[in-house]
Amino acid sequence: MDEHPTPETLVAYHAGELPADEQEALRDHLTLCHDCADLLLDLVSFAEFTPPEQAPILVDSEVEGAWQRFQPRLVGREEPEERKEALREEKPAPAVAQIGERRRRDMKHDESELAVVNWPRKVWTARAIAATLFLGVIALSLWTGALYQRLGESLRPHSSVPIDLVPEDNATRGPEDESESTVPPNAETFSISLRLDSSWKEFGTYEAEIFNAGAIKPSAIISGLLNREGVCFFDVPSRRDFPPGRYLVDLYGIEGGRREKVARFKFQIAAPQ
Amino acid sequence: MEPHSTSPTSDPSSPSGESSGNRWVEQWQQGIDPEESFRQIFHQYYRLVFSFFVKKGFSAEECNDLAQETFLRVHKSLATFRRESRFETWLFQISANIYRNTLRAQSTRKRDAPEVSLTDVIDGPGGGGGGESDIVQDEGGGPLEDLLADERSRMLHEALQDLPSQMRRCVILRVDRDLKYREIADIMLVSIDTVKAHLFQARQLLKVRLADYFVDLNF
């Protein structure tokens, strides 16, 4: 191998990926070529993440300083000094220079035209900026208004009605207790408390599915519920999803990735009179 | 800056052997906080790249510029880096290519520099002196010493040629460059014990062959 190996070849050699004859030839080259042998040792340093011996170590503040200087180059905000100088020395290409010269000659023939050519450009630029700003202000106002509306809705106190439910087969909840499981029609939202029997198996977390009686798909699924002193409590996310009617709540226990039905509850949402 | 005397402060490899550079690159390529990912890459490898250029003999300012150039190229090409290979070796390739391009540019500038006659430098403009014989002066011993030195050199060269190739390479790297066992092993892609064995056997063979020419072969 008479030619010096590329860094890519050295990487392949170091990884043992070269054919046997190329590997032997490169070994002969590395025996005699100090520069290439040194470069291979540098590769070993990189692969082992070990700076060469006797190399100075930068302290953290120096590395951070290098990063601060590097960032503007990353986003192209700052040109290195050599490139700045190169840009300054750069002359326009001949074709462009000729076009520029022709335009200057043309413009000199008609001074008024020159004035017309130059002035509208500036005016249009200013008008474009003004129009953009105006539209931006309008868009911002609309967005802000919508934001305030949403904020207002969220901050306005809800008339939240707590519904305390017991399991469906609980004998103590009869028709005379139906008022305790009925959401009045004017309630903007409501919360549900599911009473857990102490004899039931305890789970790490629970999940509740709320069905309109007779529906197949749940109207809402509430996950991540916890047993708080025998009660699973949650706010119903949106009153809009619950028109007047009868509803069922199936409670599931979640443990080790398995889901097990715990109990069924029922409630109703009264229709306006 | 402090002189290097200890191993690096952070081990970039995870217990599973995956390069941490590859992990940051993966995050960057997946668009997970790319600025922070690249900042981590920069902080983790800047010292290594900087040291590489220091070892090549560049000034501190040049090393900073070249290291930044390296990371600029890394950033531009990072989307195309394939994580099957290690980030460190890919980083080396970029650094080494920048180094070689810089050398090429410097040699071009030297080649384009105005030529000065060596005679003018030594004797002053207009020449003078006796030419090459005035520049190269033989300050050694007499002709007999030179002859014996040539003869020893020839015998050593012949004896080395007769050694097995890998053994010969190890001897040359040890004698010619005074490299450590570890460095010879890294260059030859063999173990340190293999290098030691090669050198030991070479010493035995050359002693027998060259006893009349060399008092002691020590390498």
Q: Is residue B103 pLDDT above 80, yes or no?
A: yes
Query: Rounded to the nearest 10 degrees, how much is the dihedral formed by the CA atoms of A136, A142, A146, A147?
Result: 30
- Rounded Cα–Cα distance for residues B78 and A67 (Å): 17
Residue A250 burial class via C-beta count within 10 angstroms: exposed 0-12, middle 13-18, buried 19 and up: middle
Quickly tell me which residue has 């413009």 as its tokens.
Answer: A107
The ipTM assigned to this model is 0.75
Which of these, B81, B71, B83, B90, lies nearest to B22 by C-alpha position? B83
**With 0-12 CB in 10 A as exposed, 13-18 as middle and 19+ as buried, what is B43?**
middle
| Per-residue 3-state assignment (H helix, E strand, C coil) for A21-47 | HHHHHHHHHHHHCHHHHHHHHHHHHHH
pLDDT tens-digit readout, A187-235: 777 788 888 888 888 888 888 888 888 787 888 888 888 887 788 888 7
Q: How far apart are CA B88 and CA A36, in angstroms?
A: 18
All residues of chain B having their beta carbon less than 8 Å from the beta carbon of residue A16 are 189
Which pLDDT score is estimated for B6?
A: 34
Please tell me the distance in Å from A88's CA to the nearest CA on chain B. 20
Name the A residues in 19-78 with CB < 8 Å from any B CB: 23-24, 27-28, 30-32, 34, 37-47, 49-59, 62-64, 66-67, 69-70, 73-74
Beta-carbon contacts of A261 under 8 Å, excluding residues fewer than 6 positions away, are: A250, A251, A252, A253
With 0.80 as the threshold, say if the pTM is over it: no
| Mean pLDDT, residues A130-134 | 85
Alpha carbon of B123 to those of A30, B118, B127: distances in Å?
40, 8, 6
Which comes out higher in pLDDT, residue B140 or A263? A263
Binary contact (A58, B50; C-beta < 8 A): yes
Per the listing, tokens 């919508």 go with A146
Partners of B65 on chain A (C-beta within 8 Å) are: 80
| Shortest alpha-carbon distance between residue B123 and chain A (Å) | 34
Whether residue B106 has pLDDT greater than 60:
yes
> How do residues A54-78 score in pLDDT, each as one tens digit?
667 788 899 999 999 998 887 764 4
B8/A58 CB distance under 8 A? no
Return the pLDDT at A258. 82
Query: What is the three-class DSSP state of A229?
Result: coil
Nearest to A49 among B2, B88, B173 (CB): B88
pLDDT at B71: 96
B173-186 pLDDT, tens digit per residue, is 998 888 999 999 99
Q: What is the pLDDT of residue B190?
A: 94
The number of C-beta contacts closer than 8 angstroms across A and B is 139
> Under an 8 A CB cutoff, do B95 and A46 touch?
yes
Coil vs helix vs strand at A158: coil
CB–CB contact B52 A41 (8 Å): no
Structural tokens at position A27 = 């070994």
Give the gap in angstroms from C-alpha B14 to the nearest C-alpha of chain A.
13
